[in-house]
Amino acid sequence: MEFCDECGSMMMGEGDVWVCKSCGNEQPKGDSASYTTTAAQEESEVIESGAENSGLPTTSAQCPECGNDRAYWYMQQIRAADESETRFFVCTECEHKWREDDH
């Protein structure tokens, strides 16, 4: 799938070109150079094991497993849209996960 550089609309494939049905812009197909990655780019995308929570904010929360008083947290909608989000916690020490629901 391609999007038009001129107007942003979705382009349709016709033979060897992509054609924008909105503005008529044409781009050649098969220009894969814009989609290739270098080895340096691939290496920079690797996330070290155990570092998956490092980007999350922390808060004061008592871990039910080890008693640690700090945890990473995030919120996620897991029920109907008209229900409140669920707060998830991950202990900064033992990485135990638990959740807290609003009642």
Residue 103: per-residue pLDDT:
54
Domain coordinates of the chain in residue numbers?
1-30, 58-100
Which residues are known binding-site members for Zn(2+)?
Answer: 4, 7, 20, 23, 63, 66, 91, 94
Q: 60 with 73: CB under 8 angstroms?
A: no
Q: Using CA atoms, how far apart are residues 97 and 91, in angstroms rounded to an integer?
A: 7
Predicted TM-score of the model (pTM) = 0.47
pLDDT at 21: 86
What is the CATH T-level fold of the domain 58-100, as seen in this structure? N-terminal domain of TfIIb (2.20.25)
pLDDT tens track, the chain, 103 positions: 688 888 888 888 888 888 988 898 888 887 544 555 555 555 555 544 455 666 788 899 999 999 999 999 998 887 788 888 888 999 999 989 998 866 5
Helix-strand-coil split of the chain, %, nearest 5? 10, 35, 55
**76: enclosing H helix or E strand:** strand 70-76
Write out the binding residues: 4, 7, 20, 23, 63, 66, 91, 94
